[in-house]
Amino acid sequence: MRTTTGYDAPGDLAQREALLRAALDPLRIPRHVAIIMDGNGRWAEIRGLSRVEGHRAGREAIRRTLEAARECGIEILTLYAFSTENWRRPPQEVQALMDLLVETLGREAEELHRNGVRFRASGLLDEMPGAVRAALDQVVALTCRNTAITLNLALNYGGRRELTEAARRLARAAAAGHVRPEDITEEVLGRFLFAPDLPDPDLLIRTGGEQRLSNFLLWQVAYAELYFTDVHWPDFQKVHLLEAIASFQARDRRFGGLDCG
Ligand code: FPP
C-alpha cells in the first residue's frame, strides 16, 4: 500500500520485505548483481537540497543494499559509482563526489572488514586522484581475505573504454608474440578486462526511471536479466532489492538456447 505522499509507510515496507523473503527461492539467488545507482540529483531537487546531499543520501542506500545483498546470499555486488562521463559534471560536484568517496572509505573500512566484505574497485583507477587511489588501496588490502560478499565499486568506469583498453593490451601481447591472433577467443579477451576474475552479472538493476545501460559493463551484461525501477537511488530500500530478485526468479533464462523443459 502507498501513502498519499507516494512513499511507503515503514510498516508496509517491513511487511512486504517479510513476504518477499519468505517467497524467494534460496537456491536461485543471483550470484552477481550490478546496479546503476541513478536518481540522486532528482531526489535532492525534489526536496530542495543540493545534488551533493543527494549523493550523501545515496551513500546510505549503498549501506542498506550491501547489507540486504549479504543477507540474501548474493556473492558479488557491483555498483556504478563514477563513470568516465561523470568528469563532465560541474567541477564542484566532481570534487564533492571524490571527497565523499575518500571520507566514506576511511569511515567504513573497519565496518566493511568486520562484516566480512571483500572490497574491490574496477575502472581506470590510475586516472583517479591520488587521495582516492590511496584510500582504495587501503580498504582493498584490509579486506582482501574476506569471503561474506564482494563489493566491487566501478569507478572511473566506462564499458567502451574497458573494451578499448583490453584491445590495446591484447594487441601489445600479440605484437610481442605472446598470443596469436587466431587464438583470440572470448575467454582470452575476457582476461584483459578490468575484473577478469569476477563472473558476469546475472542481474542488472537501474534505479531512477531511465531504461538504458549508460556504458556500464557492456561486455559482461550480454546475458544479464535487466530490471528497471522508478525509485530514486537514495530511496532504494532492502525491499526493492528483494523485489528485483523476485522478478529475476520469475524469468526464464535460456542464454540463447532453447528451453527443453
Ligand atoms: C547518479 O545520480 C549517481 C552518481 C553519478 C554517483 C553515485 C554516487 C553515490 C551513490 C554516492 C556515494 C558513493 C560512494 C561510493 C561514497 P545522478 O546524480 O545522475 O542523479 P540524477 O539523474 O537524478 O541527476
Q: What is the pLDDT of residues 11-24, one digit of tens each?
A: 788 899 999 999 99
Q: Ligand 1 pocket test: pick from 55, 98, 207 the residue with the most ligand atoms within 8 Å of its Cβ.
A: 55
208 dihedral zone (left: phi>0; alpha: psi -120 to 50; beta): left
> For the sheet containing 225-228, what is the strand order?
117-122, 149-157, 76-83, 32-36, 203-206, 225-228
Mean pLDDT across the stretch 173-197? 97
Q: What is the pLDDT of residue 253?
A: 79
Q: Which three cell numbers stand for residue 59?
A: 551513500
**Which residue lies with its CA nearest to atom 3 of ligand 1?**
38
Kindly calculate the radius of gyration of the chain based on its CA atoms and give it in whole angstroms: 19
* 27 touches 3 (CB < 8 A): no
Answer yes or no: is the C-beta of 100 below 6 A from any ligand 1 atom.
Answer: yes
How many other C-beta atoms are found inside a 10 Å radius of the C-beta of residue 162? 25
Residue 259 confidence class, pLDDT cut points 50, 70, 90: low
Single-letter residue type at 147: T
User: What atom in ligand 1 is closest to the CA of residue 86?
Assistant: 5
Q: What is the pLDDT of residue 7?
A: 60
pTM of the model: 0.93
User: What atom in ligand 1 is closest to the CA of residue 45?
Assistant: 23
Q: What is the pLDDT of residue 261?
A: 45
Of the candidates 25, 40, 86, 215, the residue annotated as catalytic is: 86
Residues 26-70 pLDDT 10s: 999 999 999 999 999 999 999 999 999 999 999 999 999 999 999
Q: Which three cell numbers stand for residue 172?
A: 601489445
Q: Is 252 a catalytic site residue?
A: no
**Average per-residue pLDDT in the chain?**
95
Q: For a pLDDT cut of 70, what percent of the chain falls above it?
A: 95
How many other C-beta atoms are found inside a 10 Å radius of the C-beta of residue 91? 8
Q: Is 86 a catalytic site residue?
A: yes
d(C-alpha 85, C-alpha 157), whole Å: 9
Residues 195-236 pLDDT 10s: 999 999 999 999 999 999 999 999 999 999 999 999 999 999
Q: What is the pLDDT of residue 1?
A: 42
* Superfamily (CATH H level) for 30-158+202-250: Decaprenyl diphosphate synthase-like (3.40.1180.10)
How far CA 56 is from CA of 53, 123, 164, 242, in Å, comes to 5, 22, 32, 23
User: What atom in ligand 1 is closest to the CA of residue 83?
Assistant: 5
Q: Which three cell numbers stand for residue 100?
A: 565523499
Domain ranges (residues) in the chain: 30-158+202-250
